[in-house]
Amino acid sequence: MPRSIWRGVLSFGMVAIPVRLYLATESSSKVSFNLLCPEHKSRIKNKRWCAEGDHEVAWNDVVRAYEYEKGNYVELTDEDLEKLPLRSSKAIDISGFVEKQEIPEELYIQSA
């Protein structure tokens, strides 16, 4: 069974409908590739590397930050992100409807 790429709620007025989003098309190819070392034929690992200190950084030590000007960052914690006045990323509010012909072709991820 296909996996949903997004789960959330469609809402309009006082109505809220739980939905799951699936791709309408399948990839024409089911082939997936791995990146290998040409000498040892073993898989390549992606490491987090500190450009300044020239060393590897463990996942537990990685922090999130916002670059407010070139080279200057403010660090953000999970608590900071929870306090942001954002609407849910799991809800879509429908404010109106349009005819299919009114939607510009370039807005489609894949052709309809």
Domains of the chain, residue spans: 6-22+45-107
* Whole-number Å distance between alpha carbons of 112 and 98: 16
Neighbours of 10 (CB within 10 A): 13
Q: Please write the tens of the pLDDT for every residue from 39-95.
A: 999 999 888 999 999 999 998 999 999 999 999 999 999 888 888 876 666 777 888
Rounded-to-integer distance, Cα 33 and Cα 97, Å: 41
Give the pLDDT confidence score for residue 112 in this predicted structure: 47
3-class SS of residue 80: helix
Amino acid at site 90? K
pTM: 0.41
How does pLDDT run across 11-31, given as a tens digit for each residue? 888 888 999 988 777 666 677
